[in-house]
Amino acid sequence: MPEPTVEQLMNLDKVPEQKPSVIGPILAFFFLPPLGVYLLWKEKSFHRVFALLSLIFGIANLFSFSSIYLAAIPKLGELYSELNLPDQTNPIYIIIYGVLSLGQVLLSFYFYKVAKGKGFLESWELVTLAVLTLLVDFIVLPVIIGIVVVNMILPIYQQNLDPYQSFPVN
């Protein structure tokens, strides 16, 4: 067995750098979003993952927006006309949600490209991405869903109709 060289002996204390696992921050992002944002923010190598997660959430929001706007609102309009109720399908809240979701997709895609090129995002880019992601996905979405659901059900209860009765289908 050959004797170790001086260079090998001098490098014994140097341990190869291990990259941290991204699994924990991703799980935190899904279950406790502010903690997940912080963990993804803290490690520069996770910035691209953060932008990718925001992009995925934005695309999911766009699918949700399109299904509500193209399918649910017209069907609710028909239901209200059959029941002779005032039409409560004002889509302004849904349109606001769609515009914010589209903005999230576009900015997330841009920041993903920036992070892929530089390897990390600047502080202002991270703040923009974090605020937009948390705002759209975890504040605006629940509030809009609440407003839309209340506006859908309210006319039925104001007319003292049973919302569980079956209606004739044409």
Q: Is the pLDDT of residue 168 over 60?
A: no
Q: For residues 69 and 132, what is the distance between their CA atoms, to the nearest angstrom?
A: 22
What tens digit of pLDDT does each residue of 113-127 get?
Answer: 999 999 888 989 999
Closest CA relative to residue 143, chosen from 77, 94, 90:
94
Confidence at 161, pLDDT banded by 50, 70, 90: low
Percent of the chain clearing pLDDT 70 (strictly above): 86
What tens digit of pLDDT does each residue of 39-68 get?
Answer: 888 888 888 999 999 999 999 989 988 888
* Domain boundaries, given as residue ranges, for the chain: 50-158
